[in-house]
Structure 1
């Protein structure tokens, strides 16, 4: 892991350099990053200050904001209220809404695999009250936020066994109170690389809070800025305590980007 700092003066210096990039990609996770967590994922919303900064960045010259989330694309669009012109990437890089076009190109075989794994996980969910199985276009999530740590561990183990029995090639990913299973082996890192090339970005800002965001932090290059939101080991160069602290970072970046020479 690279050395990570939470020194505000160091973060500000990095943002000042980043803001001078001729073309900037601002990629942001949603849950736990722009929005605090909630027991009901359908009720979350971005913090007003963060969202105002996001919209300011979206309007800045030679700057593009993309929300990059593990949520399904339709769920991300619904809870974020992102304007139509804002690019969205859902399901950890499987689903894309870029330039107004939706993309979720699963093959027939992949759809069959998704259905198989979903049936197996539904059977697990029925055995553990309080555990929620979320069905996504390219996989499924096992949510354990509402149960004890002991029950969560038992449910995750059962889900892992069931999913791999249903599909030995399924990709398993752990997160905060969620275990995910996907049929396509793509990550947020793959999404950042593709977005960088697609937009011709000279530099990238990425902020995220979860284990799955580490894939994105690891593909950042010299001159990019990665901000880890919250605790935990990280490949990001910078850290803030929580989504509220990220608001200040986004406001700084928006102001610097909007007023650059």
Structure 2
């Protein structure tokens, strides 16, 4: 289904909750996370949508809330960082959906383990998000990268009662158990219960968000996906941008 056809499906809804992933959905995947930045056209589209009373707009990402705020300085936009556990309102109020003691998981120890296992392997980037660790290997040779990831998975076995490993597009992430984007989706739906809910995402971390949509909600998978029931597809962030443009035009 084309972006225009998808936009036409929701044209008659007076109130719309539009939720999007960031990397691989709004912006293309890049070799390093710091390269995945929005262009002026995307920021304009988001601003136009967020300024319309009909739309409630939120971006839900595994990135930190601070990073999202720097990347997406869009008035009226809700941001959910760290897989949706921390939400920033347009007024910059921060809402924590999963209160916990930060000291109960030794994130620095896990970060050191990741650095040790990947040391000397070209192309690895270990990202310390504070409350999560990401091992990016898009630029690494697949053979050595696979060995290092297996070694790391074995090394953090003692911590797996509190954290979990989540594979993505050339990235392996360590996150707290119980944390997922479905938390933010549920929060936003409860905030606007009469709005028609839509979620766009591109990888495994978005499956929890899709699962949190109520029956009849619109699930739009971006990129290469296996066939599924009750979902639609857009090939890339280019078509996502076209979809957003069609929503504005409609």
Fold similarity call, TM over 0.5: yes
Q: Is 1:251 matched with 2:242?
A: no
Give 1:15 shift.
Answer: 2.9
What is the rounded CA distance, in whole Å, between the counterparts of 1:241 and 1:48 in structure 2?
21
Q: Is 1:208 matched with 2:207?
A: no
Gaps of 5+ in 2: none
SS of the residue corresponding to residue 156 of structure 2 reads helix
Matches within 5 A, 1:70-81: 70-78=62-70, 80-81=71-72
Give 1:64 shift.
Answer: 1.4
- Going from structure 1 to structure 2, the CA distance change for 1:233 and 1:93 (only over 3 Å counts) comes to same
What is the rounded CA distance, in whole Å, between the counterparts of 1:17 and 1:222 in structure 2?
16
Which position in structure 2 is the counterpart of 1:187? 180
SS of the residue corresponding to residue 106 of structure 2 reads helix
What is the rounded CA distance, in whole Å, between the counterparts of 2:128 and 2:219 in structure 1?
30
Give 1:21 shift.
Answer: 2.7
- Going from structure 1 to structure 2, the CA distance change for 1:187 and 1:61 (only over 3 Å counts) comes to same
Give 1:119 shift.
Answer: 2.6
What are the Cα deviations for residues 136-170 of structure 1, in whole angstroms up to 9, with x where unaligned? 13210011111022122112212211222344331
2:87 pairs, out of 96, 105, 123, with 96
Q: Is 1:148 matched with 2:105?
A: no
SS of the residue corresponding to residue 93 of structure 1 reads coil
Q: Is 1:87 matched with 2:87?
A: no
Q: Is 1:68 matched with 2:66?
A: no
Give 1:12 shift.
Answer: 4.2
Give 1:237 shift.
Answer: 1.1
Which position in structure 1 is the counterpart of 2:211? 218
SS of the residue corresponding to residue 241 of structure 2 reads helix
Contact 1:36–1:46 under 8 Å retained in 2: no
1:113 pairs, out of 95, 102, 106, with 106
Q: Is 1:26 matched with 2:9?
A: no
Contact 1:228–1:234 under 8 Å retained in 2: no
What is the rounded CA distance, in whole Å, between the counterparts of 1:87 and 1:118 in structure 2?
29
2:48 pairs, out of 44, 56, 63, with 56
- Going from structure 1 to structure 2, the CA distance change for 1:168 and 1:122 (only over 3 Å counts) comes to farther
Q: Is 1:239 matched with 2:233?
A: yes
Contact 1:117–1:167 under 8 Å retained in 2: no
Give 1:88 shift.
Answer: 0.6
- 114-123 vs 170-179, which moves further: 114-123
What are the Cα deviations for residues 91-137 of structure 1, in whole angstroms up to 9, with x where unaligned? 11122212421245441443x43233223222223253321111113
The normalised TM-score by structure 2 is 0.88
Which position in structure 1 is the counterpart of 2:8? 16
- Going from structure 1 to structure 2, the CA distance change for 1:92 and 1:46 (only over 3 Å counts) comes to same
- 83-92 vs 170-179, which moves further: 83-92
The normalised TM-score by structure 1 is 0.84
What is the rounded CA distance, in whole Å, between the counterparts of 2:42 and 2:198 in structure 1?
14
